[in-house]
Structure 1
Amino acid sequence: MQERESSADGSVLMENGILKMVINKDGTLASLHLINANREAISNGCHGNQFVMFDDVPLYWDAWDVMDYHLQTRKPVLEVVQPIHVVSSGGLRSSVSFTLRISDKSTIKQEIVMDAMCPYIKFNTEVQWAESHKFLKVEFPVRVRSPNATYEIQFGHLQRPTHRNTSWDWARFEVWGHKWADLSEHNFGVALLNDCKYGYSVHENTMTLSLLRAPKAPDANADMGTHHFTYAIMPHAGSFQEASVIQSAYNLNFPLRSIQCSPNTIPWSAFSVSSAAIILETIKQAEDRKRALVLRLYESHGSSVTTTLCTTLPVREAWHCDLLERHDPTQPAHMTSEGITLTFSPFQIVSLLLIL
C-alpha cells in the first residue's frame, strides 16, 4: 500500500497493487488507473466523484415524482470547507478525508478508503441535509463507451440504454437498481456499487448515483438530518461477470467482521457453492419444522449452469420447496458424497429444505 501527498497542488496519490488513484484537494478523482490492464477509468479532462445539485420541483407528487426538466438545473458542489488530508496510511488500509459545503445549511464530509488488494475504492459519506426541493447526486465520467448499461435487480440484472435517441429512451433518464450498476465495453468496464441507494443514471459515458432528495409533501421534514452511506467505484477487465462485480457488491454490503480467536483455530464454512454464478442468498430456520433449514439460491450471470452445494452440516434429507417452504415430495434434491447437485437456468431461483 502506497500513499504520497503532493505539496504543489494538494493532491494525493494512492496505490494498492490493483488500483492507482490521484485525488484532488476538493475530493474529486483526477485519475483512477487499473494497473494490470493498464487502463484509465476517468474520462479525459473530467473528474470523478463530482457532487452535483439539482432543483427538484415535481408538478404533482412531491415525494414520488422526479421530472426530466430537473436535469437542466445541474450545479456542481464546489465550496471546500476542509481540503483533502490523510487520515491513515500504510498497512492494510489508507484513507483521506475532506468536507464540502452544499449551502449555508448542508455539508458533505467524506472519507475515501483504499484497502490492500481490494478491487474497488470506497467513499464513506456523511451528509448534513437541510435542503428544500433539491436533489443531490454524484457523477463519475468514465472512459467507457457502450449503448447499454447494466443494473442489478433482485435475483438478476437488466439493461437500459445510455442514449436518448427516442422518447422512450429519454423517459428512462433515471433507472432504479440495487447494489450495483455497470458500464462495460469489450474487455473493460466500470461498476458503481453502493450500500443503500436505488437510483442510477448512465448517460453516454457519465455514471451517476442519486443520493438525497428534499421533498416537502406529504412530510415537510422528509429526509432532513444526518445521513450515512457508502458507495464505491470499481474499474475492471473483462465483463462484470468475469470481474466478480456481483460478489464485490455483496462484499461492500456485508463487510468482514473481525473477531478474536486462538492462533490454532481451524477455518470453517457451513456452506459453499462450486460455481461463481450461483449466489447463496438466504439461510434461515424453517418456520414450521424443527432441525431444518431453508436455503435460497439464484443464478446471477444469466447462464445455464450445474453446481454443487457443499455443507459441513449433518444433512439427512434435502428437498426442493416453494417460497412458502412447502417441500415437493416428487423433487428430492440430488445428494452425493460431494454435496447437493443443482442445475440452474438463467436467473433461476431455487429454494431448498434441508433436514438435519
Structure 2
Amino acid sequence: WKRYDLLKIPIGPGSVRVPCEQDVPLPFQRSHDRTHVLVSLGKVPAMGLRRYALTETTGQSPASSSDCLQVTPDHLENRFFRLRLDETGAIVSIWDKRYGREMIAEGARANSFQIFEDRPMANEAWDIDIYYQNKTIELKELVSSMPVEHGPLRGGLKQQRKFLSSQILQYIYIYDEIPRIDFITEIDWRQHQTLLKTAFPLNLHSTRAAYEIPFGVIERPTHWNTDWDKARFEVAAQKWADLSEGDYGVSLLNDCKYGYDVKDNVIRLTLIKSGIDPDPMADIGLHRFSYALYPHSGDWRIGGTVRMAYEFNYPLMLYPMAGPPLAGSDDSYSFVTSSSDNLVVETVKKAEDRPGLIIRVYETYNQRGHASLIFGEKLKKAVACNCLEEEQGPVDFHDYTLKFYIKPFQLRTFYVEF
C-alpha cells in the first residue's frame, strides 16, 4: 500500500538538506535534539521507493503553521485527539475528535506504569503466576514534564519518572497527519524480581480481545468466567492487540514487547520482567522500546490495525541514490503491490538454489477469495512453492500480474523470475 509517514534525516549544525518537489521544500521540522530533521512524505509506493531532489535550507518548514498542534505539560492536542494529563503524568482523557468519543474510562488513568512483585513458583525467567497481581504499586512519582516539540509535523512531551533506583524517560508524540499516539520509552531498570506493565483502561465494552500472532490473529475472552479463561490471563502477541466494540476500537501497538493482558476494559502491555534465575541480572540495565495507541472506527479489520502496526514497526528508510529518473512519471517505483487490503507481502528474498526470488504473502482478515500481485517488472516465470521453496505446481500469471486463490490466514509462497 502507498505510505504516508515522516522520514528521519540525520543532520549536523547549520543548514539542512531536505527533499523538495518542483524546487519547493516538503514540510519538515527539526527534532528536539537537533540531530534529525523530520520530513513529511506522501504516496511512497508499496514495496518500492520514491526519489526526491534535495534542497538546502536554513529555516523551518514553509508550512510552519502549527495551530492544530498544542503541547503543554498537561495537554496535547492535534486535529485527531485532545489529551489531558494529571499531576502524575498519566492520561486521564483522550477525546477522539473524528468520532466524538472519549477513549479513557471515566475516573481512570491511562499509560499508567504498574509495578508488581514477580516471584513465580518455577521457571522464574519465563513464567508469570496469576497471583503476581496481589502486590501492586502504581507509579505516581513524576520528576519532570516539559514540551520538547511543537509542530508543524509533530508535537512532543518529555516525561521523567523515578522508582527506587530505576529511571524512566518517555516522549509522548502526536502528529499532524498520523492518527496515532506514540510512546517512545527509555528505562534504566535496577529492580530485581519485579514486573513492569503499562495500563490503558478504555471506555469500551467487549467480551473478546484480538491479538496478532504469526500470519494470523487469535481472540481471547476478556473475562474470567471459567477456570480456563482465568488460566489465559497473559497472551503472547506480535505487533498489536485490539479491543473493539461494534463501531469503535483501540489497538495497542508495540515494536518489541510481546506480552499482553486484557481484563474487562483494561489492556496492558508487559514492559520488563526482571527475574533472578537462571540469570541474576535479567533485564537489569538500559531498555529502549516504543509502543503506540491507535484508535479507529469499527474493529481491527475496518480500522486498518494491521497496516498501522506495520508502519509503526517499519518506518520509511532513507537511501541516497543518483542517476537518471525512474520509470514512473512521478519518479517513483513499486516492486510489487497487492490487489486486496487483506493481503500482506511478508517476505521478498533470493531463492536458495535458483536465480529468481521467493515471494511470501499471507491473508490477514480471516477471509478467502481471489487475489493478485502486480509487479514492477514483467514476469518470465512464476510457480507456487511450499515453505521449503519446493515447487508445488503452476500458477496463473501474465505480463506483470500473478493471480491466485487464498484461504483465511493462509501463507502462500511463490518463486518468480523476471
TM-score by length of 2: 0.80
Q: Alpha-carbon deviation of 1:5?
A: 4.8
Equivalent of 2:309, from 241, 249, 253?
A: 249
Contact 1:97 1:109 in 2 (8 A): yes
Amino acid at match of 1:354: V
What does 1:317-336 correspond to in 2, within 5 Å?
317-328=381-392, 331-336=393-398
Give TM-score scaled by structure 1 length.
Answer: 0.94
Aligned mates of 2:124, 2:109 — CA distance in 1: 32
> Match of 1:302, as an amino acid?
N
Aligned match of 1:13 in 70, 76, 89? 76
Match of 2:298 in 1: 238
> Is the CA contact 2:71–2:156 (under 8 Å) kept in the aligned structure 1?
no
* Structure 1 gap ranges (5+): none
Paired residue for 1:311?
375
Partner of 1:99: 160
In structure 2, the residue matched to 1:196 is: 256
Task: Say which of 199, 208, 216 aligns to 1:139.
Answer: 199
Residue 30 of structure 1 is matched in structure 2 by 92
**1:72 match:** 134
The letter of the residue matching 1:4 is: Q
Quick one: distance in 2 between partners of 1:284 and 1:125? 32
**CA deviation digits over 1:219-256, x for unaligned, max 9?**
11111110000000111111110111011001111011
Q: From 127, 151, 158, give the equivalent of 2:211.
A: 151
Q: CA RMSD in A?
A: 1.7
Amino acid of the residue matched to residue 282 of structure 1? T
Report the CA distance between 1:78 and its aligned residue. Answer: 0.9
Residue 357 (structure 2) aligned to one of 267, 287, 293: 293
Q: 2 CA distance for matches of 1:276 and 1:76? A: 40
**Equivalents in 2 of 1:55, 1:316: separation in Å?**
60
Q: Distance in 1 between matches of 2:414 and 2:177?
A: 35
- Provide the C-alpha distance between the structure 2 equivalents of 1:23 and 1:232, rounded to a whole number of angstroms: 17
State the secondary structure of the residue aligned to 1:192.
Answer: strand
Give 1:177's aligned residue.
237
Partner AA of 1:250 in structure 2? Y
SS of the equivalent of 1:241 reads helix
Looking at structure 1, the residues matched to 267 and 358 of structure 2 have their Cα atoms a distance apart, in angstroms, of 38
**Matched pairs, number:** 347
Sort the Cα spacing of 1:314 and 1:111 in 2 relative to 1 into closer, same or farther, 3 A.
same
Query: 2:408 aligned to 327, 334, 346, which one?
Result: 346
The answer to whether the 8 Å contact 1:96/1:113 transfers is: yes
- State the shift of 1:118 in Å: 1.0
CA offsets 1:233-287 (integer angstroms, 9 cap, x no match): 1111111101110110011110112456789760111010010100100000001
Task: Compute the displacement of 1:289 (Å).
Answer: 0.8
TM-aligned CA deviation for residue 27 of structure 1: 2.9
Instruction: Determine the C-alpha separation between the residues in 2 that align with 1:18 and 1:138.
Output: 23
**8 A Cα contact 1:307 1:342, kept in partner:** yes
AA in 2 matched with 1:227: H
CA shift, 1:321, in A, is 0.3
Amino acid aligned to 2:217? H
Identity of aligned residues (%): 34
Taking the aligned partners of 2:107 and 2:135, their CA distance within structure 1 comes to 22
Runs (4+) of structure 1 exceeding 6 A deviation are 261-265
Gaps of 5+ in 2: 1-65
| Residues 96-136 of structure 1: CA deviation (Å, up to 9, x unaligned) | 11111121x21110001112221211100000011110000
Determine if contact 1:3/1:12 at 8 Å carries over to the other structure.
no
2:135 & 2:369 partners in 1: Cα distance? 47
**2:65 maps to 1:4:** no
2:230 is paired with a residue whose SS is helix
- Cα shift at 1:33: 2.1
Alpha-carbon separation, structure 2, partners of 1:112 and 1:296: 35
Alignment equivalent of 1:284, drawn from 316, 338, 349: 349
User: Given the superposition, is the C-alpha separation of residues 5 and 275 from structure 1 closer, same or farther in structure 2, using an over 3 Å criterion?
Assistant: closer
